[in-house]
Structure 1
Amino acid sequence: MIVRIMGEGQVKLDNSHMAELNKLDDELLREMESGDQAGFRRTLYALLDAVRRLGSPLPDDALEPSELILPAPDATLEEVRRMLGDDGLIPG
């Protein structure tokens, strides 16, 4: 799976890591719904760090179609809310 982190680039990520990412995504969704700004920021960083840690960055000149687009680390709660689908940022 190819994941784009807005403002950073793309990462190739094995589908076997989706359970870990979905857990963080669910936590992020709960924090957004409750308005927990500090928790939202902490979990967004943890989600993006997990993608970076578990994946392999693609070269900057690679233009692969992204199957998943995640917000930039400095995205606001409202910006992320606009990106959400029914299942959060990560489907499944």
Structure 2
Amino acid sequence: MIVRIMGEGQWKLADTHVVELNKLDDELLVEMESGDAEGFRRTLGALLDAVRRLGAPLPDAALEPSELILPAPDASLEEVRAMLSDDGLIPG
């Protein structure tokens, strides 16, 4: 799977990592719904760090279609809320 972090680039991740990313996504959703700005910031950072840690960065010149687009690390709670689907940022 190809994951894009807005403003940073793309990473190729094995599909097996979706479970770990979904756990963080579920946490993020709860924090957003409760208005926990500090928890939101911490969990968004953990989610993006997991993508960077588990994935292999694609070269800047590569323009692969992204299966998943995540917000930039400095995105606001409101900006991320606008990106959400019923499943959160990560479908499934």
Give the TM-score normalised by structure 1: 1.00
Are 2:53 and 1:64 equivalent residues in the alignment? no
Q: Which residue of 2 aligns with 1:30?
A: 30
Listed as ranges, the matches of 1:1-92 within 5 Å are 1-92=1-92
Structure 1 residue 57, shift from structure 2 partner: 0.1
Number of matched pairs? 92
- Structure 1, unaligned runs of 5 or more: none
| Structure-2 separation of matches of 1:75 and 1:81 | 10
| Structure-1 separation of matches of 2:57 and 2:46 | 17
Structure 1 residue 68, shift from structure 2 partner: 0.2
- Structure 2, unaligned runs of 5 or more: none
Structure 1 residue 80, shift from structure 2 partner: 0.1
Q: RMSD of aligned C-alpha atoms?
A: 0.2
Residue 80 of structure 1 aligns to a residue in which SS? helix
Residue 16 of structure 1 aligns to a residue in which SS? helix
